[in-house]
Structure 1
């Protein structure tokens, strides 16, 4: 006799918001953050007024009420340096480093 499976939307929702799933999302975010710190560029004191600020500005957080509908656990990795956008995407004078992109591709497992 074949087994029958009946999905419970409420049960799936509880699973997606569970502390267990949130902890796993945060663990993966921390792996990505560590990879980003490892490959972050550091300027020299000769031309960078704050050498090491970008590398020291990585953060990760998690919440159980994330996603578009606020119905699942999510984790976020970001850099709080004021010039993080230009390091990631570059400018017309400086090439893009894509630190977060490369960290996400390498980590998160």
Structure 2
């Protein structure tokens, strides 16, 4: 006799919010953070902010995240005041896309 599976939406929701899934999201976020720190620009010798961007990456676990607040997620970000300028660029500074490249490199681990 073939095995049968009957999905429970409530059960899937509980799984997506479980500590086990949250721990996996944090593990993946830490890998992305490590990759981002490895490729982050640090500035030149006379730069007063030398290394600040690289040292400002963080991981924040969120037990009720996602678009509908129905799953465990982990957020990787940068708390420096100019983090968005480094990531997306300005008219004078080219975009480095540090978090994007880090997520592409380490996100599948």
Q: TM-score, normalised by structure 1?
A: 0.94
Task: Indicate the SS of the match to 1:53.
Answer: coil
1:28 is aligned to: 28
Structure 1 alignment gaps of length 5 or more: none
Task: Indicate the SS of the match to 2:53.
Answer: helix
How many residues of Structure 1 are paired with residues of Structure 2 in the alignment?
108
2:12 is aligned to: 12
> Root-mean-square deviation (CA), in Å?
0.9
Q: TM-score, normalised by structure 2?
A: 0.94
Which piece of structure 1 moves more, 61-70 or 77-86?
Answer: 61-70
Residues 86-97 of structure 1: pairs in structure 2 closer than 5 A:
86-97=85-96
Structure 2 alignment gaps of length 5 or more: none
Report deviation, 1:64: 1.5
1:8-30: CA deviations, max 9, x gaps?
11111111011000000000000
List, as ranges, runs of 4+ consecutive aligned residues in structure 1 with deviation greater than 3 Å: none
Task: Indicate the SS of the match to 1:74.
Answer: strand
